[in-house]
Amino acid sequence: MNGVILDAGSFDQNDLITSSLEASLENWHWHRSTLPNQTMARIAGMNVIVTNKVAITARALESASLQLIVIAATGTNNIDLEAAQRKAISVCNVRDYASPAVSQHVFSMMLALYTHLSDYANAVREGRWHQSPVFCLLDYPINELAGKTLGIIGYGNLGKRVARIAQGFDMNVVIAARPGTTTIPSGRVSFDELIHTSDVISLHCPLNDNTNNLIGHRELKRMKSGAILINTARGGIVNESALVEALRTGEIAGAGIDVLTQEPPNNCQPLLDGDIPNLIVSPHNAWGSIQARQRLIDEVADLIKAFRNGQARNLCLPD
């Protein structure tokens, strides 16, 4: 069987053991990246595609002889699942491989914002500690997570892991019911209540029609003025222009953002203006620990092997 990896550079920086993936098919074609106008030519004659973020459209599938598409990620929005189903192409994704890395990143951002860690590090580099009349610097407010309320939107494996870690910091954890639902399940609070009462809000939901612009002007205005927002889920869940306005006017106290609506961003991205206070933006790398990426590549290999043995796993179907 012939296989192609369309964007290996998005998960392998030549620092992973790839032998299991290499052994899963007889013939591989590896590409570090693939532009949209290259996709059709690269998948022609292939039986298996591995893609992280390269879009596989209905048009790309028209003349393809594919049997299997493996998404080297969890999100499926870059694949036309209906077109794949019409052509009897199986689509599988990799699940829960990055929860340790992403949850760690969530708290890295949370702690950095609560302690003004980067501001203090910059102060030391600028020589301000040398000039202090006392032994320390306390120029920026340092707050504790203990006793604060963490609101989690999206309570899958990752949301549950973040909740467990938060309890270790003595935080109170509340979990949102699905936005728009009329009944509130036991152990949950309404979306509006979570927005209004949380000191920290962490997003772990998928991007879809129900969650696009989930956090916009209305929600940011209803948040506590001392609250912070963490988004390691998907760009588009947070209205970026509304967030910029909320940070500049002090409607909320800070934000940690790992995902943008366009990646890589262009020069017009509002969250990358240099004068936005109390904002940390990381380059969609919350998931990218060496260990998580190794789990990813090993699971891709396992999914291919299972498919070839007639035991397809993690099948993705259209809604």
Helix orientation angle between 157-168 and 99-115, rounded to the nearest 10 degrees: 40
Q: Which of 268, 193, 239, 175 has the alpha carbon at shortest distance from 257?
A: 239
pLDDT tens for the chain, residues 1 to 319: 999 999 999 999 999 999 999 999 999 999 999 999 999 999 999 999 999 999 999 999 987 789 999 999 998 889 999 999 999 999 999 999 999 999 999 999 999 999 999 999 999 999 999 999 999 999 999 999 999 999 999 999 999 999 999 999 999 999 999 877 778 999 999 999 999 999 999 999 988 888 999 999 999 999 999 999 999 999 999 999 999 999 999 999 999 999 999 999 988 899 999 889 999 999 999 999 999 999 999 999 999 999 999 999 999 999 7
Res 168: pLDDT: 97
pLDDT at residue 305, rounded to an integer:
97
Catalytic position from the list 42, 234, 293, 295: 234
The answer regarding whether domain 99-281 maps to CATH 3.40.50.720 reads: yes
- How far apart are alpha carbons 134 and 120 in whole angstroms? 15
Domain ranges of the chain: 2-97+290-308, 99-281
Asked if 2-97+290-308 and 99-281 have one fold, the answer is: yes
For 102, the token pair is 């992403």
Does residue 234 have an active-site annotation?
Answer: yes
pLDDT value, residue 181: 78
CATH architecture of residue range(s) 2-97+290-308: 3-Layer(aba) Sandwich (3.40)
Catalytic residue of the set 161, 204, 284, 295: 284
Its pTM stands at: 0.91
The amino acid present at 18, given as its one-letter code, is T
Known catalytic residue at 188: no
Q: What values do phi and psi take at 172, rounded to 5?
A: -90, 135
